[in-house]
Amino acid sequence: MMDPIALAHPAMLAVDLAVAQAWWSLTVPPLKVLRTLGIGRAKLPKADLTGKVCIVTGANRGVGARTALHLAEMGATIVLACRRGQANAAKTGIIEELRAKKVEVDLNNIKPMELDLLSMQSVRDFADAFKRDFKRLDILVNNAGVSEPGVTSEGYSITFTTNHIGHYLLTDLLYPETDNARIVNVASVFHQYGDPDKWEEAATGRRGDTGPFDVLTHVYADSKLANLMHALDLRRRFTADRCNAVAFAVHPGNCRTDLWRYVPNNLHNAFDKFMRIFFLSPELGCYTSVSAAVAPLDRLREPDGNLARFLQPYWCPVPYVKDRAAHQIGPFAGCQVIGPFAGCQVGTASLPNDVDGALDTLRRVSEQLVADISKKQETHTQADPAAVKAIHPVAATEYPSLAPRDVPIRF
């Protein structure tokens, strides 16, 4: 098992951040200047996606909106899977941008659909509607995500349910449609702080996310490790089923998006300034998702020829460290987040020592959670029909210094 001291030690994160910060300060601002001048821009891969059907979850803003735009630009039929009636606005935004760029594609191929990953019924309704309306699925980008403290009214972590459980059920329901498909799980470099032994605790709000920053290194990290392991579990399933689909986990980079809305209000201004200098734009952040979705597979391989398990935007300045426990300790624990950003690179997945055991745990825990959450939500809505509209609105714990959860910050 992993070294618990290495996992929990706050010094580990502090050292990571200090090393990453020093490196970024030296490399990222000069690169930003060069790229503003048009020098050394990373190139998005291009493909003809005419006739292909893609889904992007959380396509109404941030990295998901940019991913959906580029897939639409390549001629795909693109399903914008968004919650709270925002899919139509997402469609309008994409159409405006395509028109402004004078890209000629069939705008009827941009399809808004409702999907709330916190509601298992919404996920099931989405999958049923998708299978009814489309006969194939070529690209599924499991992008939507939050890093939010608190639990739903049924007692499940908002972050873990949105980031992993909802996507797990969605992918499972669409699985029969996925022969030859590519599935892209938008994970994070924070997966390296996740702990497979804590998935159940994370899902049920017992992981100790007492404040917004704890969420990142606890439940968010656990959910992002689950995203990564889910991609590996899908590969295992594809192989067993002799299916040609492939699955990737990607890190978009640290991007200036609403993901960071739960930074306490009094730090927003300072944090926003910090992000303007050091973080990527959502446009640069979508490069790894788009590359995983459309780049030729030969470009997405590890040096040993195997398909990359984890893609990231950064150049890695030190050799691969394959051992997770070793990777967690020492000043280069965070090496994979540092370095100039340059589109899409093969990154180092920080895997649990017992990968097969963790994959089995993930499947067991995920299936149990899908069943438990579905049952609770059903009882909840039967007891209170009004809850159908707002199945998950209240975080049990209040964080008064945080931005109101329903008001987008739009960094």
Ligand X SMILES: NC(=O)c1ccc[n+]([C@@H]2O[C@H](COP(=O)([O-])OP(=O)(O)OC[C@H]3O[C@@H](n4cnc5c(N)ncnc54)[C@H](OP(=O)(O)O)[C@@H]3O)[C@@H](O)[C@H]2O)c1
* Contact call for residue 259 and ligand X (CB under 6 A): yes
Which residues in the 279-308 window bind ligand X by CB under 6 A? Answer: 282
* Contact call for residue 75 and ligand X (CB under 6 A): no
Are residues 366 and 229 in contact, defined by beta-carbon separation less than 8 angstroms?
Answer: no
Angstrom distance (rounded) from CA 410 to CA 89: 15
| Chain centre distance of CA 385 | 32
Stretch that binds ligand X, among 70-78, 256-264, 296-304, 341-349 (CB under 6 A): 256-264
* Contact call for residue 255 and ligand X (CB under 6 A): yes
Angstrom distance (rounded) from CA 110 to CA 171: 21
* Contact call for residue 149 and ligand X (CB under 6 A): no
At CA 64, angle to CA 124 and CA 66, rounded to 5?
A: 145
Q: How far is the CB of 296 from ligand X (least distance, A)?
A: 24
Crossing angle (nearest 10°) for helices 221-240 and 166-174 = 20
* Contact call for residue 84 and ligand X (CB under 6 A): yes
* Contact call for residue 63 and ligand X (CB under 6 A): yes
- List the one residue from 257, 291, 312, 377 that touches ligand X (CB under 6 A): 257
- List the one residue from 86, 152, 345, 350 that touches ligand X (CB under 6 A): 86
Complex with ligand X: residue 82 or 232, whichever CB lies closer: 82
Complex with ligand X: residue 257 or 350, whichever CB lies closer: 257
Q: How far is the CB of 231 from ligand X (least distance, A)?
A: 13
In this structure, are strands 110-114 and 77-82 parallel, antiparallel, or unpaired? parallel
Angstrom distance (rounded) from CA 289 to CA 392: 28
Q: How far is the CB of 304 from ligand X (least distance, A)?
A: 26
- Amino acid at residue number 365: V
Angstrom distance (rounded) from CA 241 to CA 226: 22
Long-range contacts (CB closer than 8 Å, 24 or more residues apart) made by 402-407:
402/149, 402/212, 402/261, 402/262, 402/263, 402/264, 402/265, 403/261, 403/262, 403/265, 403/268, 405/148
Are residues 275 and 409 in contact, defined by beta-carbon separation less than 8 angstroms?
Answer: no
- Helix segments in 116-209, DSSP class H: 120-133, 158-160, 166-174, 199-203
Complex with ligand X: residue 167 or 235, whichever CB lies closer: 167
Stretch that binds ligand X, among 231-239, 247-255, 308-316, 396-404 (CB under 6 A): 247-255
Q: How far is the CB of 252 from ligand X (least distance, A)?
A: 5
* Contact call for residue 83 and ligand X (CB under 6 A): yes
Other CB atoms within 10 A of residue 109 CB: 18
Complex with ligand X: residue 85 or 357, whichever CB lies closer: 85
Please give the structure tokens belonging to residue 206. Answer: 């017992």
Q: How far is the CB of 174 from ligand X (least distance, A)?
A: 15
* Contact call for residue 146 and ligand X (CB under 6 A): yes
* Contact call for residue 312 and ligand X (CB under 6 A): no
Q: How far is the CB of 266 from ligand X (least distance, A)?
A: 20
Known catalytic residues are 220
Complex with ligand X: residue 75 or 80, whichever CB lies closer: 80
Complex with ligand X: residue 75 or 120, whichever CB lies closer: 120
Please give the structure tokens belonging to residue 381. Answer: 């809505």
Cα 200 to Cα 226, 370, 402, distances in angstroms: 11, 12, 26
Using the 8-state DSSP alphabet, how is residue 308 labeled? P
Ordered DSSP codes for 89-135: HHHHHHHHHHHHTT----GGGEEEEE--TT-HHHHHHHHHHHHHH-S
Complex with ligand X: residue 251 or 327, whichever CB lies closer: 251
Q: How far is the CB of 102 from ligand X (least distance, A)?
A: 26
Stretch that binds ligand X, among 54-62, 176-184, 307-315, 335-343 (CB under 6 A): 54-62
Residue 102 dihedral angles phi and psi, to the nearest 5°: 55, 40
* Contact call for residue 145 and ligand X (CB under 6 A): yes
- List the one residue from 16, 45, 54, 62 that touches ligand X (CB under 6 A): 62
Complex with ligand X: residue 196 or 252, whichever CB lies closer: 252
* Contact call for residue 109 and ligand X (CB under 6 A): no
Contacts with ligand X, residue ranges (CB under 6 A): 57-58, 60-64, 83-84, 86, 115-118, 143-146, 162, 186, 188, 251-252, 254-255, 257-259, 282
